[in-house]
Structure 1
Amino acid sequence: MSEAAILEVVNKNFGDHLILGEEGGVIGDSHSDYLWCIDPLDGTTNFAHGYPSFAVSVGVLFRGRPAAAAVVEFVGGPMAWNTRTFSATAGGGAFCNGQRIHASQTDTVERSLLVTGFGYEHDDAWSTNIELFKEFTDVSRGVRRLGAAAVDMCHVALGIVEAYWEYRLKPWDMVLVFWMVEVAGGTVTCMDGNKFCVFDRSVLVSNGVLHSKLLERIAPPTEKLISKGFDFSPWFKPENYHTYF
């Protein structure tokens, strides 16, 4: 129902654009310069339990470049629900409820609060991240696993956590939120340190100040996964869609 409501608005106003939705897949003109990415419910398990870490995310690319993104985060909890809306536009900055936001300036891992996530598949990437979770728990102020990628990245942009990383994400999981972090002054790469695009399968977002220090610990085990044959090539890109990648 959430995706249907979003599609109704997008199709009414941009009927000739290409759309990638978590539920409906790819629809529209594959030769369009525009690609909408829709996650109608990020943090499904949290939503089902009434746990306050889930969101609805919408973003649009123009020839592969971020143009605009919005995330509505549901906060509070039973008997105290509320929302806050994150948004960003090309050249326009990053905002939360209309107020400009910026990533934190914390410059040491020891004073940082970090966030990660785990997919449903308990494979080598999952095991590697368990080890990273343990390692960073030992050296930072703590590592949280909240269960909604878009929310986690928005929290980096808001400056209330210093970094977030995860393997095995899908394009709609990120829905250009990674770019919102960059607009807010942060840094985004793949977990091996390579340049990131929305179709990649691992992501490290940080306040920027800490990025190289985090990569010192995250990149080596990620490179080891790649050497073992774990595929980190772009997960998906619609056929014929024009990008600069």
Structure 2
Amino acid sequence: MQALGSRHLPLRNNVLHPNLRNQCSKRSTRVCRATGDAVKPDTLMQVALEAGRAGAKVIEESAKLPRQIERKEGNDVVTATDKASEAAIIEVIQKAFPGHAIQGEEGGVVGDVSSDYLWSIDPLDGTANFSTGYGSFCVSIGVLRHATPMAACIIEFVGGPSGDGFKQRTFTAKRNGGAFLEGQPLVVSKTRELRDAILATESLYLPDIPESWKPLSEMQRAFTASSRGVRISGSAAANACALATGTIDAYWQFNLKPWDIAAGALLVEEAGGQISTSDGCAWSVFDRSLVATNDLLHRQVLAVTEPETAKLRETGVKLGPWCVPTGYRVKSGAQLH
């Protein structure tokens, strides 16, 4: 596997983006015939949609039953529904592409890591929300070719357990083919000023590096003071959906894992949004920092995140690539080199 180095030029859809500074010195189912065969993004998207529906069916049925909750690392929880949803998703993917690799939040990596393709799945993004009946939560499936998202499906559950129950919204995207909500094209917002923007993030505390709390909280303070507000949904996939639909205008986050954001990132890009690391470098799904915006606000958001990211690094926080499956071939390319 090629070493994961620093990215020197921020790119958007394989092209140097003019709104970012030009330096960064830091750092239906068919069976695929062979692991190296290129698969059309539309084919990948259709399988992702089928797999997403399989996972969503498990969640829909489980939402009516008492939750079986277990502890994971720290304060994280996992339910029997997470595991059952992941199994249903993997079954669909492996039937269509037995030669592809799959990385699930709950079960780790299965399949052939020598494949060009890696399916990055979160069978229930927003487990804490699901466990208490708090919307929203999602099934999130992103398909990578090396480090580049090629297709995506997110099925979001919104509403609540009372009344008519949870409703589902189905988001799909394919590389260079657009992003969609229930088949209708998505476009990000046209907000141009940070003072008019609504942003999203998720709370993060690193107990091993308590000094990191100051720059992390400073970003929250700065954005709250300079925008119309900051929202916390409890789901990275839901935040990406909100950005792609124009409901929010920007989203920043640290310590996301590939399965958290692989699908959502493609949705944002194909809806016209812009993504970079928090210090303005070209981004990949294996990075630990993310700034995603409607494109028009990107410089203004980076003006807040870049200096605080530098302070985070000084405290010892690592923001380089992580969660790359052992043996998976991440090649040099537009999003990671």
TM > 0.5 fold call: yes
Residue 192 of structure 2 corresponds to 107
Residue 56 of structure 1 corresponds to 139
**Aligned residue identity for 1:184:** A
**What is the 5 A alignment of 1:1-245?**
1-79=84-162, 80-119=165-204, 121-122=206-207, 123-243=210-330, 244=332, 245=336
Aligned residues: 245
Distance in 1, Cα, partners of 2:324 & 2:119: 12
**Aligned residue identity for 1:195:** A
Preserved CA contact (<8 Å) 1:118 1:167 = no
- C-alpha offsets along residues 151-179 of structure 1, whole Å, 9 cap, x if unaligned? 10111011110001111111111123112
**Aligned residue identity for 1:48:** S
SS in 1 for 2:138: strand
Distance in 2, Cα, partners of 1:210 & 1:120: 26
Distance in 2, Cα, partners of 1:45 & 1:55: 12
Preserved CA contact (<8 Å) 2:151 2:266 = no
Larger radius of gyration between Structure 1 and Structure 2:
2
Preserved CA contact (<8 Å) 2:149 2:262 = no
Preserved CA contact (<8 Å) 1:118 1:126 = no
Q: CA RMSD in A?
A: 1.4
**TM-score, normalising length: structure 2:** 0.70
SS in 2 for 1:9: helix
Preserved CA contact (<8 Å) 1:115 1:163 = yes
Tell me the CA shift for residue 126 of structure 1: 4.6
For structure 2, the 5+ residue unaligned runs are 1-83
Tell me the CA shift for residue 77 of structure 1: 1.1
Tell me the CA shift for residue 11 of structure 1: 1.1
Could you tell me the percent identity over the aligned residues? 47
Preserved CA contact (<8 Å) 1:86 1:97 = yes
Tell me the CA shift for residue 65 of structure 1: 2.0
SS in 1 for 2:155: strand
- Closer, same or farther: CA 126–26 of 1 in aligned 2, 3 Å: farther
Distance in 1, Cα, partners of 2:214 & 2:118: 34
Distance in 1, Cα, partners of 2:215 & 2:155: 31
Preserved CA contact (<8 Å) 1:52 1:74 = yes
**TM-score, normalising length: structure 1:** 0.96
> Which stretch shows the higher mean deviation, 201-210 or 125-134?
125-134
> Which stretch shows the higher mean deviation, 39-48 or 175-184?
175-184
**Aligned residue identity for 1:242:** R
**Aligned residue identity for 1:130:** S
Distance in 2, Cα, partners of 1:121 & 1:225: 11
Distance in 2, Cα, partners of 1:103 & 1:125: 32
**Aligned residue identity for 2:89:** I
